[in-house]
Structure 1
Amino acid sequence: MSDNERKKSNELISFLDILSPSRRSNNGSYSNLSQLDDTQNNTENNTNNQTKEKIYYKVSVEEPQKKNFDSILSQSFYKLIVSTNNPNLPNTEYIVERKAKDFQILYQILLENNPGVFVQPVIDKYSFNTTHEELMKNRKHSLEKFIKQITTHPVLQKDLVIEKFFTKGKFNEKEPDSNKKFRLFRNIPNNTFLKGTENDEKILNQKLRIELLSNQLKTLIKVLENLTKNQKEYISTNDDVIQTFLNFEKSKEDKPISFNIKSFRTVMEKIRKNEKKYQKQDIHDILLISDEYIQKLDSLKNCFNTRTRLYNTWMDTSQEYKGKLETLSKSKDSWLFEQETLKAKKKEFDELNQKLKNQENDFNRITDTIQKELQEFEKLRLEEFLDAIQHWLEILLEKENKKIKAYEKYFIHIEKENQKSSQDIN
């Protein structure tokens, strides 16, 4: 081998050594520099944020109104009364109109723009049976919670699409392609976790808990619906008892028995009135929260699925890198590179190496984001369920106290009547 060939071969071997994964993985300077850059960026961002006035939105959602565009087509619009100090928007109270589909599109775009961030879902349908009036009320409730979450979230509220949504006029954002990964959740009734290699035990446990919680909530909804059904049957039974007592009164039995039956019928009527008043009201909150959280868990699954897609892309790039490296290594004895070819190859590998680092950083970033979002999610979940259960118990106690008072009045009334009858006999 000539000196020139030996020199080129040594250059190639040195080049391969530099690209070797073992050497690259031992070099921690990139991650340290990345952490330093992140720290500096965070410090700069915090400083900038402190100098700026915090943006706020106050939005109330009105009942939907239908508009007829011709003799056939009509659409429902929600009026939003918006108040904000955002300098890019009117800073006084004003009104914008949005279609129900606009909220779904905004939700989908926020998911796409903010990977790993939990976005409150816009709930179009509920799994439990409701009247049309209840459905409209629940939808309005869902939209209000959606707007509140996205406008108070420290990351989501900075997304420019929110400004577009609150700008007067049409919301000219197109719905994401339904054939791609970002489909409306109303078209995915049973959202599942994407399959992918996962060796993080903490993440695996979190996914398992999400699936378990979702199944538990579905079971709870069935139990609550059965309870509602039993309430209806109980009211129906009360109606039969009251009618029976009423028929007995008409038979004109002796006065004391007739009086007792009439008094007891009055008690039953009061109990029936209370049961109808509190029907569904006592379990409505916890039923609504349970169904909401089933769909919220689907939104959380989307965060994990985005992380899985990033991980799979990162691994594909890694395999591509290793494949090219092996091909180049096998060719080192038979292929004598010119200097320019070596430079081109090094540039190609440097770009691929940088791509790997960026993908790894994106994966680590979304993992950290999901963990932070999960903490907030769990905190909110506990608070909302505790409030719903407390409200349920308060309604139950109020209903039972009224029932007890009705019986107490009945016994007092009967006792007075018995004393009066005894005095008349004497």
Structure 2
Amino acid sequence: MDSIDDNPFADLQSSFTTPREADKENIEQGFKEVNLDDPSPPQETDVQVDDEQMRDDSVRDSSNNAASNRGNDQDEKDDNERLSDRKRSLSLQHQQQQQQQQPQPPQQQAQHIPANGVVKLPSGKMYEISVCDPQKIGNPANSYILYTIRTTTKMPAYRQNSLTVLRRYSDFLWLYDSLCKNNPGVFVPPPPSKQTYGRFKIDFIEQRRQSLEKCLIKCANHPHLSQDEDLKLFLESDTFALDVKQRQLDKAEGKSVLASWGSSIMGPKYIENDEWFDVEKQRIDGLELQLKALVKALQTLSTQRYDLASSLAEHSESLLELSRQFTHSETLTRLFQMLADISAQSKRGLDELIQSDASSFTATAEEYMRLISSIKSAFTSRIDLFHDIKAAESSYNKKKTTYEKQKSVGQIHQYNIAYSLKDLAMSENAVHESKRQFERVSALIKEEMSAFDKMRMEDFKFGLKELVATLLQSQRSIHEGWVKYEQELKSI
């Protein structure tokens, strides 16, 4: 028996409602296909294909229900036509909106940060440093010059990007000594030499300031020195004196016995096995002699220029005094005044030349003469490492001989065998580590020598350009004065 809930007209109702619901779903699906938020306009070919497919589906549904749904064919056709018109209208509107919109500029690519966290400054360097504002501190009996050091860096090890500290000349000496000890084989740029007399003169203070700044910039941007802990302490510590004492205590506690042997035990005479080092030593010795001769000649020339500048000043004053005696002749007065002006111009040109020479070419020659001392220290550190190897080998051989002797006579206990073997292994590792350090420093010195030759050419080229430019400018000014003077004489 059929249930009360069974509807005998269900099949008939489904035959009438199903096509309309299918059409409704097709219409909704068609509107979903036209996405108003999509920035790209719909393709006409896709729309046409969808329309044809929808018509085919509609025809199939109509044929299956032809008996009960013929009255709905016209409605279905009208719905499909309205859907197609709606799609074409939306497509045209979207194309018009795309034409009115301006093209968006491409987004800038995010800055790439290297794996080590170091972001270089715009100049291509890791540090920008200035040494400025020298001030005299203390009483006349115990006074010194204090310099302000301003540093800009993006090295991640520093607490700030901009740092400002106060340092004196002896602090620069400490930094140089520390960098040499921490980095054997590296040619550490040295600070300017000490000077007992005249160290508070304005010209000397300015020359020293420039030399200290140049030295510090080269140290900070050196690939093997830029991340040194003592350099970091020098550039950012506000309690520098206390931190230096603590650093010295830490280094003294951490210094191994083997490291002290290299400086306290005189090993066998070192015989060079690499011919490259012998050739470079001879070349460096010859370069040192040439630089000493050049610096001496430049200092003599500078002294003579000072004397000549003083004589020109006196000559100019004498001509001016003489011009005042010819009050009855304006022509002679004007000629003597012009001659005095030429002498004064020559004096000013010499002053500029002396200043440029001291700050460029002579300073460069003196800097490289000091740098040769640093190169020799690097070569010496390599020899010290050779003595460390011999000391480590001697210690290992003694321990090995003692162990084998005690073991052969049965004097070593069973529970001490493991300890003795461990001690021997540590001594053997120390020998291998000393040899690796020696090879590493040897390769580093060769690398540093290549960089030294390249940097030397660039620095001397720059110094010569500045010197010649100043000399030409001075001579042009004097030449113009003499040309005017000659024209004035011809007009008499």
Q: TM-score, normalised by structure 1?
A: 0.69
Cα distance in 1 between the residues matched to 2:310 and 2:357: 19
Question: CA shift at 1:327, angstroms?
Answer: 9.2
Residue 409 of structure 1 corresponds to which residue in structure 2?
A: 484
**CA, structure 1 residues 196+63, in 2 after alignment: closer, same or farther (shift >3 Å)?**
farther
Paired amino acid for 2:362: L
Structure 2 residue corresponding to 1:96, chosen from 140, 143, 165: 165
Deviation at residue 99 of structure 1 after TM alignment: 3.3
Quote the offset at 1:337 in angstroms.
Answer: 6.3
Q: Deviations over 1:305-332 (max 9, x none)?
A: 1111001221343455567778999x89
Pairing 1:13-412 to 2, within 5 Å after superposition = 50=115, 52-54=117-119, 56-67=126-137, 76-125=145-194, 132-171=201-240, 172-174=243-245, 196-238=270-312, 242=316, 258=332, 262=336, 265-266=339-340, 268-284=342-358, 285-318=360-393, 350-412=425-487
Q: Deviations over 1:276-328 (max 9, x none)?
A: 43241242211111111111111122111111100122134345556777899
Classify the secondary structure of the residue corresponding to 2:115: helix
SS, match of residue 53 in structure 1: coil
Between the aligned partners of 2:232 and 2:115, the Cα distance in structure 1 is: 21
C-alpha separation in 1, matches of 2:141 and 2:323: 58
Deviation by residue 1:130-150 (Cα, 9 ceiling, x = unmatched): 871122112221222233223
Q: 1:253 to 1:152 in 2, by over 3 A?
A: closer
Q: Conserved in 1, the CA contact under 8 Å of 2:184 and 2:381?
A: yes
Q: CA RMSD, aligned part only?
A: 4.1
1: distance between equivalents of 2:273 and 2:331?
77
Check 1:151–1:235 CA distance in 2 against 1; reply closer, same or farther (3 A cut).
closer
Q: 1:65·1:76 contact (CA, 8 Å) conserved in 2? A: yes
Distance (whole Å) between structure 2 residues aligned to residue 278 and residue 229 of structure 1: 14
Q: Secondary structure at the match of 2:491?
A: helix
Range with bigger deviation, 369-378 or 267-276? 267-276
Q: Secondary structure at the match of 1:158?
A: coil
Distance in 2, matches of 1:131 and 1:57, equals 29
CA contact (8 A) 1:57 1:83 kept: yes
Q: Decide whether aligned partners of structure 1 residues 135 and 97 sit closer, same or farther in structure 2, where only a CA change above 3 A counts.
A: same
Distance, in Å, in 1 between the alignment partners of 2:196 and 2:478 is: 32
1:215 Cα shift? 1.7
Which deviates the most, 218-227 or 230-239?
Answer: 230-239
Say whether the 8 Å CA contact 2:346–2:478 is kept in structure 1.
no
Query: Which whole-Å deviations, capped at 9, do the CAs of 1:207-263 have from their partners, x for residues lacking one?
Result: 222222122111111111121222233334445655675677677699699469626
Aligned letter for 2:127?
A: Y
Cα distance, 1:344 vs structure 2: 7.8
Q: 1: distance between equivalents of 2:114 and 2:471?
A: 48
- Write the letter of the residue equivalent to 1:115: P
The farther-off stretch of 125-134 and 287-296 is 125-134
Higher RCO (C-alpha 8 Å, min separation 6): 1
- Give 1:167 deviation, angstroms: 3.2
Deviations 1:179-218 (A, max 9, x none): x9xxxxxxxxxxxxxx843232211121222222122111
1:215 aligned partner, one-letter code = L
- Identity percentage over the alignment? 23
The amino acid across from 1:387 in the alignment is F
Give, in whole Å, the separation in 2 of the partners of 1:247 and 1:165: 57
Give the whole-Å Cα distance in 1 for the aligned partners of 2:474 and 2:199. Answer: 23
Partner of 1:183: none
1:67-88 Cα deviation digits (max 9, x unpaired): 56x9987664322223333445
Contact 1:105 1:176 in 2 (8 A): no
CA distance in 2, matches of 1:135, 1:393: 23
Whether the aligned pair in 2 keeps the contact of 1:84 and 1:90 (CA below 8 Å) is no
Q: Which runs of 5 or more residues in structure 1 are unaligned?
A: 1-47, 181-194, 418-426
Contact 2:150 2:163 in 1 (8 A): yes
> Would the aligned equivalents of 2:163 and 2:235 in 1 still touch at CA under 8 Å?
no
* 1:339-381 superposed Cα distances (whole Å, 9 cap, x missing partner): 9699887666544433222111110001111111122222111
Contact 2:323 2:334 in 1 (8 A): no
Aligned 8 A contact 1:252 1:258 in 2: yes
Kept in 2, the 8 Å contact 1:59–1:82? The answer is yes
Contact between 1:314 and 1:356, CA under 8 Å: does it hold in 2? yes
| Equivalent residue letter for 1:413 | E
Of 208-217 and 364-373, the range deviating more from structure 2: 208-217
Structure 1 residues 163, 257: closer, same or farther in 2, change over 3 A? Answer: closer
Give me the TM-score of the superposition, normalised by structure 2: 0.60
Q: What does residue 13 of structure 1 align with?
A: none
- 1:275 Cα shift? 3.6
Letter in 2 for 1:150: C
Number of residues of Structure 1 aligned to a counterpart in Structure 2: 351
Contact 1:80 1:98 in 2 (8 A): yes
Distance 1:72 1:262 in 2: 50
